[in-house]
Amino acid sequence: MEAFAQTERTTLKRLPKRAVYDRELLYRILDEGFICHVGFVNEAQPFVIPTGYARAGDKLYIHGSQASRMLRTLGKGIDVCVTVTLVDGLVLARSAFHHSMNYRSVVVFGRATVVDERAEKLDALRALSEHMIPGRWDEVRQPTDQELKATSVLALPLAEASAKVRTGPPIDEEEDYELPVWAGVIPLRLVAGEPVADPRLPRDVAPPDYATKYTRG
Ligand SMILES: Cc1cc2nc3c(=O)[nH]c(=O)nc-3n(C[C@H](O)[C@H](O)[C@H](O)COP(=O)(O)OP(=O)(O)OC[C@H]3O[C@@H](n4cnc5c(N)ncnc54)[C@H](O)[C@@H]3O)c2cc1C
């Protein structure tokens, strides 16, 4: 896979050694996350809206109601900036100043296009569903024409992007290493709980493996 070309706006100025332009690594981050934050400007007002997403090939798909202001605005082909963040741990240093977080994050720039063609729209919706709950799409009722019409799907090309990654222990001032203060990392990860059945579910419908064994990352 070809790495992302570094552009003026994807060049990290702070701690550039943490920058990653490797497409494979960047896609691994995108494939582990499923919530992005979409930043755009509408009539001089900046918005940052959280939403679900999925990657398929070199495209990031988002979807929602036809009535969504976010999707209608982005569909005009305006500049957009999308971020995805995975938090891996809290980094506790000996000084207040050097506390940090271990994380993997991605910033994507580009312009989205509306996906109108039925086959691509269905593929994108399947990708969104499978990205969040692998195995779900083939079991559920498929969208009707009316439901498809009521749903907007946008594709953002993954052409200009950067990742930033921090790993490892705290980095303290040399003289602070002697302080009797605990330092280290509190690892954090997303863990699924026990599935809770819908009260209206017939008793003989067992939860599928993809629900009882749900994991990410
Ligand atoms: C985890 C998560 C996943 C989501 N997944 C999707 C998805 O896949 N598709 C989808 O369409 N939407 C999703 N949403 C909802 C999304 O954030 C927007 O609310 C929705 O897309 C409507 O956008 P809009 O521009 O029409 O909002 P509008 O209703 O036009 O927004 C008006 C104002 O409402 C407030 N607002 C809107 N959304 C939020 C919010 N989420 N939190 C706090 N304030 C808000 C803001 O002040 C905003 O300026 C998700 C939200 C979360 C938190």
User: Where would I find the H helices in the chain?
Assistant: 23-32, 69-74, 118-132, 145-150, 209-212
Among the listed residues 30, 48, 40, the one whose alpha carbon sits nearest the alpha carbon of residue 105 = 30
Ligand 1, residue 152: give the atom nearest the CA.
11
Whose alpha carbon is nearest atom 41 of ligand 1?
50
Ligand 1, residue 47: give the atom nearest the CA.
49
Instruction: Please write the tens of the pLDDT for every residue from 36-79.
Output: 999 999 999 999 999 999 999 999 999 999 999 999 999 999 99
Q: How far is the CA of 214 from the centre of ligand 1 (A)?
A: 25
Instruction: Please write the tens of the pLDDT for every residue from 118-175.
Output: 999 999 999 999 999 999 999 999 999 999 999 999 999 999 999 999 999 999 999 9
| pTM, two decimal places | 0.93
Q: Tokens 């500049």 belong to which residue?
A: 79
Q: Tokens 């930033």 belong to which residue?
A: 164
Binding site membership of 49 for ligand 1 (Cβ less than 6 Å): yes
Binding site membership of 97 for ligand 1 (Cβ less than 6 Å): no
Q: How many C-beta neighbours within 10 Å does residue 66 have?
A: 11
Instruction: Please write the tens of the pLDDT for every residue from 180-215.
Output: 999 999 999 999 999 999 999 999 999 999 999 999
Q: How far is the CA of 35 from the centre of ligand 1 (A)?
A: 12
66 contact partners, CB below 8 Å, separation of at least 6: 72, 149, 150, 151, 152
